[in-house]
Amino acid sequence: MGVVVINFKAYREGSGKLAMELAKIADDVASRSDEYIAIAVNSLDLAEIVKEVSIDVFAQHVDAVDFGSHTGRINAEMIKEKGAKGSLINHSERRLKLADIEFIVSKLRSLGLTSIVCTNNVPTTAAASALNPNYVAVEPPELIGTGIPVSKAEPEIVENSVKAAKEVNRNVKVLCGAGITCHEDYVAALDLGAEGVLLASGIVKAKDRKTALEELVGLK
């Protein structure tokens, strides 16, 4: 069984009513697939979506803070109360300092939540793995949103990231991100040693989102 995590980002197609629609599509496809399918949604949609689907729902970001005078911040306790499974951390569009990544990974672990730390190359993948997250997701930023899969354009990054991560922490799971759009890309990522993929626009912005997800996981 592979892992498919769909990041809705802040796309119009991944917000509000359209986010709920996609969440239900993912829930339906997951019920017919052998793959583990999860979604990462914005904080405003999170609580409502959690109530409507059976698949795991992740936050897209949490801040490295406890409760206190942190106006506008969202901490791990808040997303847990809303039913989130865990959170993405350090996405290329929301980079964090190493100390903040460590704080969030530790906090999520203490709350029984899952952490997915995004990285951009082999050294940062190794460094992130040392923090003992559940997943690291390697995404070269120059390929994000291009439709050019890292598993084809830069396969050595995936292979070497898997090797580096496992050398540091044999329990961490590695996801492949950036440019993943179809079943061929997904299989290629698995063949390179990744446990799955983290993707966004290939599904969220597809003309037929149900068909795109079905094709990705091999139901079409």
Q: How far apart are CA 60 and CA 27, in angstroms?
A: 18
Q: For residues 38 and 58, is the Cβ–Cβ distance under 8 A?
A: yes
70 included as an active-site residue: no
- Find the catalytic residue in 35, 61, 102, 139: 139
Contact at 8 Å (CB) between 115 and 108?
Answer: yes
Which three-class secondary structure state does DSSP give residue 178?
coil
Of 140, 165, 180, 147, nearest in space to 2 by CA: 180
Instruction: Establish whether 183 is a catalytic residue.
Output: no
Give the span between the Cα atoms of 60 and 10, in whole angstroms. 10
Which of the residues 61, 91, 154, 215 is marked catalytic?
91
For 41, residues 6+ apart whose C-beta sits below 8 A from its C-beta are 8, 14, 19, 23, 49, 57, 58, 59, 60
Question: Please, are residues 63 and 73 in contact by the beta-carbon 8 Å criterion?
Answer: yes
Active site positions, annotated:
91, 139
